[in-house]
Amino acid sequence: SRPKGLDPVEERATLVEPLLGQKKAEEESTPSSPEDTHGWFSKVFFSWMSPMLALGSKKPLEFEDLMHVSKRNTSARQQELFRQKWQEHVEGARRRGKKPSLFSVLLSIHGHVLVVSYVLKLFQVFVVYARPIILQDLLMYLDNGKMPGWLAWMLPEAWARAILPATGYILALVLALSTLVQSLLQQNFLYRSQQAAVRTVSSLMSAIFSKSLKLDVKAKTQFESGQI
């Protein structure tokens, strides 16, 4: 029922303010994602996911058990970034007399994530090709007792002579560590590249949805969904 003694403006404020206040309170009370609060070590080894994985080993996970999405990956954040970058790019393109480029805008937003992910992939490829070489050097050491040239080059001559009897253990340790490093590089590459893909899709979907809201009914009947 309509409150008595209120004009339409006051009535509208009465109806809207509680909803906005509730929304703001919910945003402030929303817990942060562990990915945002943990340090670099946790991010490299993905240990911030350990509580959820431990809980999943005890019982089937429900929606309340899932972690909150990182604020950097939310659709609202990506929509705002895309809107700002697109406006800046359009204004710059107009001053230069060129057409706006969607690819350039997406690259300016998500390019740094792709660069980091493919640098990790490059190191991962190096480790993949280094493992057979290390294994070959280990077998050759067991056969003739000589230290590999690359290991002797890295160490002072006195150190090389001192650790020559333990060269086999060193090569075996390096071979085991290379497997760990390869796995970490591979998983971080996949996570960051997929993260960039999800952010790009979220940006484009938000932009397309915002554009569709600005079209009137007559314009929507003239174009198909794909054209919009």
- Rounded distance between C-alpha atoms, residue 3 and residue 106, angstroms: 49
Q: Is 134 exposed, middle or buried (0-12, 13-18, 19+ CB in 10 A)?
A: buried
Query: pLDDT grade, residue 19 (50/70/90)?
Result: very low
Dump pLDDT digits (tens) for 115-140.
999 999 999 999 999 999 999 999 99
For residue 120, CA distances in Å to 42, 47, 156, 225 come to 17, 19, 30, 39
The secondary structure of 146-198 as a DSSP string is: PPPHHHHHHS-HHHHHHSGGGHHHHHHHHHHHHHHHHHHHHHHHHHHHHHHHH
In sequence order, the 6+-apart residues with CB closer than 8 A to the CB of 43 are 35
Here the contacts of 176-184 (C-beta below 8 Å, separation 24 or greater) are 178/127, 178/130, 178/131, 178/134, 179/131, 181/127, 182/124, 182/127, 182/128, 182/131, 184/44, 184/45
- 22-64 pLDDT, tens digit each: 444 444 555 678 888 888 888 888 888 888 889 898 989 888 8
Its pTM stands at 0.72
Among residues 119, 128, 166, which one has the least CA distance to residue 147? 166
Cα dihedral: 14, 18, 19, 24 (round 10)? 140
Segment 176-187 mean pLDDT: 93
In the chain, the N- to C-terminal Cα span, in Å, equals 41
Report pLDDT digits (tens) over 148-181.
Answer: 888 888 888 888 888 888 888 999 999 999 999 9
Q: Give the Cα separation of 155 and 182 in Å (integer).
A: 24
Q: Is the dihedral of CA 38, 41, 43, 48 positive or negative?
A: negative
pLDDT of residue 220: 67
Q: CB–CB of 148/160 below 8 Å?
A: no
